[in-house]
Amino acid sequence: MAARPRRMARTKALRLACWNADAGRGKKQELDYFLGQYGIGICLLTETHLRSGVVFRMANYVCHRNDRLTEGGGTAILVRRGIGHHAVPVPGLAHLEATAIQVTLASKPVKIVATYLSPPVP
């Protein structure tokens, strides 16, 4: 009889992903599938193109976001419900856009930041 393989201890891994939303042009279903398929706990979004009046929701996720006042850009972070975290203010930035959160990993605070730098205008 063959030896039975040992079971590996399960660890609580936090899976992170970065996603260029490219203005979300019909990609919300694709993002939803990706988050579920790969068990993503925290997803950093760039180029959201969201405006303050636009509601953006993903099932089972909390959304923290910074919208650009003009056309384009924008950043957001999706955090799966149940992951302890809180939003962290980002001081005024001249050219860089950012959204930040803080989570506790191995009893230590860790800041996670979604950033976007617009390409230079020729």
The pair of three-digit structure tokens given for residue 102, joined into one six-digit string: 């803080």
Stated pTM of the model: 0.82
- Over residues 62-108, the pLDDT tens digits come to 999 988 777 778 889 999 999 999 999 988 777 888 999 999 988 89
* 113 vs 10, more confident: 113
Query: What homologous superfamily does CATH list for 16-117?
Result: Endonuclease/exonuclease/phosphatase (3.60.10.10)
48-52 long-range Cβ contacts below 8 angstroms, 24+ apart: 48/21, 48/23, 48/24, 48/73, 48/74, 48/75, 48/76, 49/21, 49/23, 49/24, 49/73, 49/74, 50/24, 50/74, 50/76
pLDDT for the residue numbered 40 = 94
22-62 confidence digits (pLDDT tens)? 765 557 888 899 999 999 999 999 888 877 777 888 899 99
8, two tokens: 């590996």
Q: What is the pLDDT of residue 52?
A: 79
